[in-house]
Amino acid sequence: MSEGPQLYLMTPAGAQASALGPMLTEVMDRFQVACLRIRGGAEEDELSRLADLAREIAHARDVAVVIDDHVKLAQRHGLDGVHLTDGARGVRLARKELGADAVVGAFCGSSRHEGITAGEAGADYVSFGPVGDSALGRGGPAPLELFEWWSEMIELPVVAEGAVTRELITQMSSACDFIAIGPEIWSEDDPLSALTALWG
């Protein structure tokens, strides 16, 4: 994978559609995004508004949109699939509900076994994390060796997420297909500058 990882963008958890729209448009116009993920944390009606907004902005730029865990919302709002935050458990059901063409991803913490199980159940990608020091995940950070092993042994694309820094991006660039960025930029006053500093 010589060209390096692609940018996998996450919306802020609990975001309001009206506030997010202009900034999301600006970020996606400025950066090449491979996938947009809608984080949970909002009420269902707000998530519905976010889903419509994100789909409109992303699909206009040929970018796939997935949403955390909400299979029904993905169906109802014409999204490309779901990102399951509880590992391999829901993969088969999501695949059955959404069909063969949908994107189904699974967050697997730092568990190689969970990642393999998710792949066998039909996931299109797995994500491991946090890669930096963070409260995300179930235990310690997902080590670089896990990504190196995965990219060498397993065909399934792998996403690195959680407490991403510029240094970590440099370290991991040869060992993962996508790097997920979200909280790292949305917590800053100027997300666009923050992403520029992080991603280059």
Nearest by Cα to 21 from 41, 51, 43: 51
pLDDT by residue (tens digit) across 145-172? 999 999 999 999 999 999 999 999 999 9
Contacts 24+ apart (CB under 8 A), 42-47: 42/13, 42/14, 42/15, 42/16, 44/73, 46/16, 46/17, 47/73
Judge whether residue 3 has pLDDT over 80. no
Which pLDDT band holds residue 1 (cuts at 50, 70, 90)? Answer: very low
pLDDT by residue (tens digit) across 89-127? 999 999 999 999 999 999 999 999 999 999 999 999 999
3-state secondary structure 101-135: CCEEEEECCCCHHHHHHHHHHCCCEEEECCCCCCC
pLDDT by residue (tens digit) across 56-66? 999 999 999 99
The mean predicted confidence, pLDDT, of the chain is: 94
Separation between Cα atoms, residue 151 and residue 174, nearest integer Å: 9
Q: What are the chain's domains?
A: 6-199 (3.20.20.70)
Which pLDDT band holds residue 2 (cuts at 50, 70, 90)? Answer: very low
Across 180-184, average pLDDT: 97
The residues, ordered by sequence, that sit 6+ positions from 77 with a Cβ below 8 Å of its Cβ are 48, 51, 52, 55
